[in-house]
Amino acid sequence: MPRTEHTSSPLTTGLRRFLVGVFLLIVLLFLFLPRQSQEWVRQIGGPLALILEGPLHLVATIQNSAGETWSQYIAFQQVWEENQQLKLEIQKLQGEQNRLREQAILAMDYQKLSAYQVTAPMVTVQAHIIGRKVSDWYRAMILDKGARDGIHTEMGVITEAGVVGRIVRVNPMTSIMLLLSDPNVAITGMIQSSRDEGIIKGTPQGTIHMNYLPPLSSVQVGDNIVTSGLTDDFPRGLQIGRIQQVTKAATDLFQSGEVTPIVDFSKLEGVLIITSFQPTVSLEHPQSPTTLPPK
């Protein structure tokens, strides 16, 4: 433990100096005065020593108490500083732990996309979401892939679960995707069980509806909806969602249903942009060219 210096108040220091001076004066008188005077000093020295004993003891007690208090303060100060340093270390470790946990979660999400990307019967480009723009007029997300990555407008966007939206604007290094819940997005969908087709379209409220279902369609709550493949943005059979509610007024020519999307748009981190419906050709067994018989 480091050595500490004790300090005392000016009053204590002055009193101590006074008493020491009186003591030295008595000693000098005892040494240099004649023998008769020394006897006199010896006679008064006893009572004077008794008188000075109390203040000297008090001064020593105050000094010891002040020294102990100062030592305790120094020790407490060191403990407090060590405690603050430990708190900073704990905060640093917690931040590092949170960063590693976040990286692990993102890695798992991207691993799922990569696994699906390998097996999907289409060509896709993996993109990360770097911005969100949600308002009463549109629901969009900004992706980190653009024209330099081969991205064009009207390309479909999906995850391993199902349909997400469509690319509507492309910049050199980024692109903007409108979600399926945006009123400006419409794709063709199909009831998987009955094969009835309709138009999947978002609303200003952020819900998704399937419109123009045949009036005699047997559509029911819980029916699965997939892409019909009749447009150039999505191939056939990608999951869109499930029918949550069916409505048809007496004067309506078609039925409509509210759709619960299969993808949770609020939790998206990464997506796949469909660049082609055709799977990549394997280079391991290339098709042999047809040879003409010799003439």
CATH at residue 266: 2.40.10.340
In a domain, 80, yes or no: yes
> Same domain for 55 and 173?
no
Nearest C-alpha neighbor of 259 from the set 217, 200, 205: 200
Amino acid (1-letter code) at residue 258:
E
Nearest to 210 by CA among 178, 242, 237: 242
Q: Tell me the average confidence (pLDDT) per consecutive run of 10 residues in the chain, 295 residues long.
A: 50 66 64 53 55 57 69 78 83 77 71 85 91 80 94 94 94 95 92 93 91 90 92 88 87 88 91 77 40 40
Residues 143 and 231 in one domain: yes
3-state secondary structure of 124: strand
**Overall number of domains in the chain:** 2
Residue 123: CA count within 13 A, CB half-sphere: 10
| Residues 76 and 152 occupy one common structural domain | no
CB 200 within 8 A of CB 169: no
Amino acid 45: pLDDT: 54
39 and 158 belong to one structural domain: no
Per-residue tokens: 253: 């020519």
DSSP state of 292: P
Please state whether beta strands 123-134 and 239-247 pair in parallel, antiparallel, or not at all (unpaired). Answer: unpaired
Asked if 189 and 58 sit in the same domain, the reply is no
Kindly state whether residue 251 falls inside one of the protein's structural domains: yes
Task: Note whether residue 196 is domain-resident.
Answer: yes
Task: Residue 262: give the domain boundaries.
Answer: 122-276
HSE (CB half, 13 Å, CA atoms) of 12? Answer: 15
Distance of alpha carbon 179 from alpha carbon 132, whole angstroms: 11
Q: Clarify whether residues 60 and 141 are in a common domain.
A: no
Both 15 and 71 in one domain: the answer is yes
Residue 103 included in any domain: no
Q: What does the alpha-carbon distance between residue 7 and residue 68 come to, in Å, rounded to a whole number?
A: 11
- Does 150 lie in the same domain as 55? no
8-state DSSP, 171 = -
Residue 17 CB neighbours (<10 A): 10
CB crowding 231-247: b at 16 or more within 10 Å, else e = eebbbeebbbbbbbebe
Write down the pLDDT at residue 223: 95
List the end-to-end C-alpha distance of the chain, in Å, as a whole number: 105
**SS3 category, 74:** helix
Residue keyed to tokens 């108490």: 65
Report how far residue 200's alpha carbon sits from residue 185's, in angstroms, rounded to the nearest whole number: 8
